[in-house]
């Protein structure tokens, strides 16, 4: 929140410095109501009582075209799950070297996934929310630089983006509030598109530090084990539990088709923080849709499977109690689940869409199922 | 016979309801611009003419001419086009062409801007602008 006045002042400075600047205002909003279908279940922030707040949001974008190929853009977002407090989520400057090459600097979206750049603009995709098994990295913006190169290779459009920067904030990994610092985030992503087909690959690395809080059972167990290992002098083993300046890496590949009203999307991602208790995550989804004029129906399958390398287990055979503790914590942070979603989108207005999604989430570790239904109105203006 | 008359009437009606769309530029603009380039300009993929001048395209605001143009040339419905531009606008990667109210506004704009391109009802073409394609 403290960044808001600074960004506002920056914007004001840019605007007043050049009274000829043309300022455009665009916006988007999603009003979403949803609930789980059974008592004592929670999913995607919903419980059994209907909530219109959880996934609803409202955003304004201000962009100022300064002269000489420079522009300034800011996005102010008010999210229901943050009591609709308005925050600057994007604030950056862009310099266009040529039609094909531009450099941006500031606070921007980290382009992990195919839909990352417009993750919040529900109007641009068919679901109420993109598949969460894949779209599960708990932060979405970074501060730094982005170099974007657009070109045409015959009939293909090529978009190559290279980013560098950092992230600092509270995210939910193992614990609910984990003070997280990602330094030297470096990444590249490349999209090739041909009329009805597009393919994309992305790779990111970052020096990752996550202070896991004692606010979940898994968090308490993990911190307890790390301290016990350290106290007993097993520093290497303790370091292999904590995520402290460890190498994090993220890989994604995906493609999508929009051909004669048939829609198909698939994305596969891998995420790993080496030498930490965090499991190597692999996720994917496949989704088919069919468009009939204003109506779209779709079916999506998602899968999430965490694994540790087998050599991570039994790291301390000499001390059976701690050895068992390590194995237990490694097992405790693992997740394995799948989700089926069926839904429909109705474009009832040129700038607004009504959506209904039903999702069934299956936790393969606890062998439990959770159903959630959500109705959304997404608009752009 | 009745059916034939009806069919003829329907054809006549539909041909008047869906008039041809003429894509126009300033008479001073000598660049060669084919259908593929027009589509790329209106999708923000082509930003300059062959001679290097920045393109300054204009749309019409949600009327039958723009529906016709979007359908025949761009190949997208207004909702699809709105979603397409939202992806660019909200990522700072592009800005959709400005929307003008009607054919006359587009003619005036194109006639007074050498870098402009627009589209109008083919029946409304005047000698103040140059037609480069009709759809």
Considering only A40-49, A180-189, A288-297, B8-17, which range has the smallest mean pLDDT?
B8-17
Contact call for A350 and B78, based on CB within 8 A: yes
What pLDDT score does A13 carry? Answer: 52
Question: Domain extents for chain B?
Answer: 19-134
What pLDDT score does B12 carry? Answer: 47
A residues 109..138 contacting B (CB < 8 A): 109, 117-118, 120-121, 123-124
* CATH code for residues B19-134: 3.40.190.10
Q: At residue A159, does pLDDT exceed 90? A: yes
A residues 313..352 contacting B (CB < 8 A): 347, 350-351
Work out the percent of chain A whose per-residue pLDDT is above 90: 64
Rounded Cα distance between A271 and A287, Å, is 21
Which uninterrupted H or E stretch holds A268? Answer: strand A262-273
Q: At residue B8, does pLDDT exceed 80? A: no
Distances (CA, A) of A103 to A92, A277, A283, A373: 10, 37, 31, 41
What pLDDT score does A4 carry? Answer: 52
Which uninterrupted H or E stretch holds A320? Answer: helix A320-332
What pLDDT score does A2 carry? Answer: 46
A370 pLDDT band, cuts 50/70/90, is: very high
Q: At residue B106, does pLDDT exceed 50? A: yes
Contact residues, chain A, for B48 at CB < 8 Å: 99
User: How many helices and strands, by DSSP H and E, does chain A display?
Assistant: 4, 16
Chain-centre distance of CA B79, in angstroms?
A: 17
| Residue found under tokens 């949803």 | A34
Q: At residue A242, does pLDDT exceed 50? A: yes
Q: At residue B105, does pLDDT exceed 90? A: yes
What pLDDT score does A174 carry? Answer: 76
Contact call for A351 and B82, based on CB within 8 A: yes
Distances (CA, A) of A339 to A37, A263, A332, B36: 15, 19, 21, 41
Residue with the bigger pLDDT between A90 and A5: it is A90
Residue with the bigger pLDDT between A215 and A28: it is A28
Give A308→chain B minimum CA distance, Å. Answer: 36
Q: At residue A95, does pLDDT exceed 90? A: yes
Q: Which residues contact A274 (CB under 8 A, 6 or more apart)?
A: A246, A247, A248, A249
What pLDDT score does A118 carry? Answer: 87
Q: Which of A120-129, A211-220, A233-242 has the highest mean pLDDT?
A: A120-129
Query: Using CB atoms, which residue from A28, A157, A353 is nearest to B90?
Result: A28
What pLDDT score does A136 carry? Answer: 84
Task: Please tell me which residue of chain A has the smallest CA distance to B90.
Answer: A118
Q: Over range A136-149, report the average pLDDT.
A: 90
Q: At residue A7, does pLDDT exceed 70? A: no
Query: Using CB atoms, which residue from B48, B83, B92 is nearest to A63?
Result: B92
DSSP B91: T
Contact call for A75 and B90, based on CB within 8 A: yes
What pLDDT score does A192 carry? Answer: 96
The edge-to-edge listing of strands for the beta sheet with B98-100 is B98-100, B56-60, B116-121, B21-25, B130-134
Rounded Cα distance between A275 and A245, Å, is 10
Rounded Cα distance between A35 and A160, Å, is 40
Structural domains present in chain A: 3-380 (2.40.160.10)
């Amino acid at each position: 929140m403290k960044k808001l006045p600074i960004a506002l002042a920056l914007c004001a400075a840019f605007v007043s410095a050049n009274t000829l600047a043309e300022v455009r205002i665009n916006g988007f909003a999603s009003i979403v109501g949803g609930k789980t279908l059974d008592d004592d279940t929670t999913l995607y922030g919903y419980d059994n009582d209907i909530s219109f707040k959880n996934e609803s949001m409202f955003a304004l974008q201000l962009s100022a075209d300064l002269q000489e190929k420079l522009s300034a853009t800011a996005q102010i977002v008010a999210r229901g799950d943050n009591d609709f407090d308005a925050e600057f989520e994007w604030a950056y400057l862009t310099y266009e070297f040529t039609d094909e090459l531009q450099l941006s600097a500031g606070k921007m979206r980290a382009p992990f996934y195919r839909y990352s750049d417009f993750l919040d603009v529900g109007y641009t995709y068919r679901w109420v929310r993109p598949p969460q098994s894949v779209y599960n990295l708990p932060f979405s913006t970074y501060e730094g630089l982005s170099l974007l190169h657009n070109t045409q290779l015959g009939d293909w459009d090529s978009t190559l983006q290279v980013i560098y920067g950092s992230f600092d904030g509270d995210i939910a990994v193992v614990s609910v509030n984990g003070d997280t610092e990602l330094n030297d985030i470096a990444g590249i992503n490349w999209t090739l598109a041909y009329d009805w087909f597009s393919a994309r690959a992305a790779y990111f690395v970052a020096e990752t530090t996550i202070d896991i809080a004692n606010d979940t059972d898994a968090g308490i167990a993990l911190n307890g084990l790390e301290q016990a290992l350290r106290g007993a002098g097993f520093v290497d083993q303790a370091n292999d539990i904590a995520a402290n300046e460890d190498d994090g890496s993220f890989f994604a590949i995906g493609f999508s088709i929009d051909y004669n009203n048939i829609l198909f999307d698939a994305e596969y991602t891998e995420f790993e923080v080496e030498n930490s208790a965090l499991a190597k995550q692999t996720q994917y989804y496949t989704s088919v849709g069919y468009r009939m004029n204003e109506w779209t129906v779709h079916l999506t399958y998602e899968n999430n499977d965490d694994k540790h390398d087998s050599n991570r287990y039994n790291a301390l055979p000499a001390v059976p109690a701690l050895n068992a503790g390590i194995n237990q914590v490694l097992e405790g942070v693992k997740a394995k689940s799948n989700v089926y979603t069926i839904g429909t989108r109705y474009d009832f207005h040129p700038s607004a869409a009504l959506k209904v999604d039903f999702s069934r989430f299956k936790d393969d570790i606890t062998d439990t199922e959770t159903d959630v239904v959500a109705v959304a109105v997404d608009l752009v203006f | 016979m009745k059916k034939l008359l009806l069919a003829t009437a329907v054809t006549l009606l539909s041909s008047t309801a869906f008039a041809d769309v003429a894509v126009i530029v300033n008479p001073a603009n000598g660049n060669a611009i084919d259908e593929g380039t027009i589509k790329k300009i209106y999708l923000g993929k082509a930003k300059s003419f062959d001679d290097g001048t920045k393109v300054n395209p204009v749309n019409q605001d949600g009327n039958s001419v723009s529906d016709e143009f979007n359908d025949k040339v761009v190949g997208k419905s207004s909702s699809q086009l709105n979603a397409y531009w939202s992806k660019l606008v909200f990522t700072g990667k592009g800005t959709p062409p400005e929307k003008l109210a009607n054919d006359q506004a587009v003619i005036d704009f194109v006639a007074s801007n050498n870098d402009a391109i627009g589209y109008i009802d083919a029946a409304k073409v005047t000698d103040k602008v140059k037609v480069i394609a009709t759809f």
